[in-house]
Structure 1
Amino acid sequence: MRMSPRIPALAVAGVLAAASLTACGGDSTSASGDKNDSVKIMVGGLDKVIYLPAMLTERLGYFKDEHVAVQLLTEPAGVQAETALVSGDVQGTVGFYDHTLDLQVKGKHVESVVQFSHAPGEVEMVSNKAAGDIGSAKDFKGKKLGVTGLGSSTDFLTKYLAVKNGVQTSEFTPVAVGAGQTFISALQQGSIQGGMTTDPTVATILDKKLGKILIDMRTPEGSKQALGGLYPSSSLYMQTDWVNDHKATVQKLVNAFVKTLKWMSTHSADEIAAKMPADYAQGGGAALYAQSIKNTLPMFTTDGVMPPDGPATVERVLKAFNPNLKNADVDLSKTYTTEFVKKAN
């Protein structure tokens, strides 16, 4: 399948129903006979546990069961995945819900169609060397802190934690270091003193005794403590116009993802890990990868439904530091829809 020239270096994680994509000389007609049932989805890091439902849905065969051909692509940060959606390179993004608010005030209308989680799943780590100087977010001042990318959700959350604790965003330096080995290397080399990341990177850092956890937002309780409420994060979001024009296809996608969330809620971390690609363990081994899934599982919803107070929490967090949102009127009702998850459930 020919890739868009704007994303030539992206790794193709998987193509479902490949025969249906090529059977008609490149026509994208799927087995259902609907030419719109072929979808590209960009994920802000396919190997991150917070976005696990994307690949797991493919591995369980649920996209195929719904007769929708899904091509999963990956970018290291959510902000880059967002860019691919806005530019039209893909039809959907698996990333943080907070991007829908940020984009709305920029005149771009996107919406979450299925909500994977009600907590960020993020962890603020500090290196062992800097642990004596950073005991809480109050100590961010003057520090270099890793984020996946500037303008990413890890960037958003780091800035909120700083401002909430009396540190202005101009008083520390966010450094784009990605996730996985690039994050770990930056921590080891001292180019950052700490940073926000997810599993399995967290599990690897702890296993190698390279740092410690400062703030843990992998559970609803952790989210409430750090952010003052449930924080809907990983989701499938799409451009609103595309959703309205392709409701049957969106429903198939949501059906598949809701099946996965329900499957996850009734299976152990070991069983989930066994379904995932072996290289997602990032060299830490199967047991460590399963443990990282176990630690992160509480962040996921069981039905794909947006938590009632979640959007308001996200808006409050973003307005605390984002000048574009601070005085903007955000229509939260246009940042997500429950139309498809209600039918799926």
Structure 2
Amino acid sequence: MRSTRTFFRALSLCAVAAVALAGSTALSQAAEKITIMVGGYEKQIYLPAKLTESLGYFKEEGLDVELLNEAAGVDAENQLLAGAVHGVVGFYDHCVDLQAKGKFVQSVVQFSQAPGEVELVSSKNPEIKSFADFKGKTLGVTGLGSSTNFLTLYMASKAGLKPGEIVTIPVGAGGTFIAAMQQSSIQGGMTTEPTISRMIKTGEASILVDLRTVEKTREALGGTYPAASLYMETAWVNEHKEEVQKLANAFVKTLKFINTHSAAEIAEKMPKDFYVGDKEGYIKALEAGKGMFTPDGVMPEDGPPTVLAVLSEFSKNVKGKKIDLSKTYTTEFVKNAKF
């Protein structure tokens, strides 16, 4: 009898051990959390990040993705280089700028083919009718070394202004940008939706240069300007192709959702606080700017040269450097995306 009890006790312990081992194996096979820093996820230019989360596409791919928020794209870039995050939803031009510093990162999903930005001018300065009229003025950008800073300096140069004839200062976006305009710390500035609509609605600012559509971007910059993207360090991409492919699958599904649904339908999937108390205005702004997004995450062919032209003139890092644009993005994952 005792031997029988001993046998069943041993059998029971083996069963427990087997369950524990199975659990341990399952945990070891579970997806590692992927952290992605977004350069202001309430901005409509970066809408695909939160929308993908809301639609449940990350989970459908078996991914555990955490989105972190950072007001300025240049700071998000620093988080990536420090190894604090696996990827950044930010402007593609960081991939070009970083190569000049010997750092290789690449856009793996291209969200947009236009910046989605506008240059606003304060209603307190009605004399400003063109970019050339900003001579001697102070303009707001999200951060020094940011995409908004490079674009501002480029358009100033195209308008005939010389270096030093305008001053750019970092004012972030949203409430801090609006406060800087209200306090006359800046006379104009580059920002995104929903900040644009908020200031136009109150009559505190008007649009001087519009970069929210491909057509207007070509007119202002001479070509498409691939902007919002998911970019990651090239070495990490090469070592984690399965995870990157799943991310591409999720984001391409989101871009197709944007392309096949109305602004109102998209807005319903977004966090309510993104409306900033004006859902109608949020939807209207999205209707106006929805065309900036690519339908499939593929980099537009004429985009990288336009970005390089801008940075070659105003990025101290890029000026005079030889840049291999083919290493700043990849279409491998979006072209293989399953949806």
- TM-score of the superposed pair, with normalisation by structure 2: 0.90
Distance 2:308 2:26 in 1: 38
Contact 1:53–1:260 at 8 Å: present in 2 too?
A: yes
The whole-number CA distance in structure 1 between the counterparts of 2:184 and 2:196 is: 17
4+ residue stretches of structure 1 with deviation over 4 A? 27-30
Does 2:236 correspond to 1:238? no
- How far 1:34 moved relative to its partner? 4.7
Counterpart check, 1:78 vs 2:73: yes
> Is the 1:43–1:73 Cα contact (8 Å) retained in structure 2?
yes
1:43 matched to 2:38? The reply is yes
Aligned pairs for 1:111-190 (under 5 A) are: 111-132=106-127, 134-190=128-184
Contact 1:105 1:330 in 2 (8 A): yes
- The one-letter amino acid of 1:108's match is K
- Please report how far the alpha carbon of residue 282 of structure 1 lies from its aligned counterpart in structure 2 after TM superposition: 2.0
- Which amino acid in structure 1 is aligned with residue 152 of structure 2? T
Give the aligned partner of residue 276 of structure 2: 282
Percent identical residues: 59
- Name stretches of at least 5 consecutive residues in structure 2 with no aligned partner: 1-22
The one-letter code of the counterpart of 1:252 is K
1:335 maps to which of 314, 328, 335? 328
Contact map agreement 1:163 1:320 (CA 8 A) in 2? no
Structure 1's 56 and 170: CA in aligned 2 closer, same or farther, altered over 3 A?
same
How many residue pairs end up in the alignment?
Answer: 316
1:217 aligns with 2:217: no
Shift of residue 140 of structure 1? 2.2
Q: Could you tell me which of 278, 288, 296 is aligned with 2:289?
A: 296
Q: Distance in 2 between matches of 1:62 and 1:306?
A: 22
Tell me, in whole angstroms, the C-alpha distance in 2 between the residues paired with 1:188 and 1:123.
18
Aligned to 1:15: none
1:95 is matched with 90
Could you tell me whether the CA contact under 8 Å between 1:146 and 1:177 is conserved in 2? yes
Q: Secondary structure at the match of 1:323?
A: coil
Q: Which has the larger radius of gyration?
A: 2
- Alignment partners' CA distance in 2, 1:290 and 1:255: 26
- Cα 1:272/1:28, change in 2 over 3 Å: farther
The answer as to whether partners of 1:97 and 1:237 remain within 8 angstroms in 2 is yes
Separation of aligned partners in 2, 1:53 and 1:169: 36
- How big is each residue's C-alpha offset from its partner over 1:30-68, in whole Å with a ceiling of 9 and x where there is no partner? 8xx354x42000000010000000000000000000001
1:271 aligns with 2:265: yes
Runs of 5+ in structure 1 lacking a partner? Answer: 1-23
Q: TM-score, normalised by structure 1?
A: 0.89
Aligned partner of 2:220 in structure 1 is 226
> For residues 255 and 137 of structure 1, what CA distance do their matches in structure 2 show?
41
| Equivalence for 1:14 | none
Contact 1:66 1:255 in 2 (8 A): yes
Aligned CA RMSD, in angstroms, stands at 1.6
Tell me the CA shift for residue 322 of structure 1.
2.2
| Alpha-carbon distance in 2 for matches of 1:230, 1:246 | 30
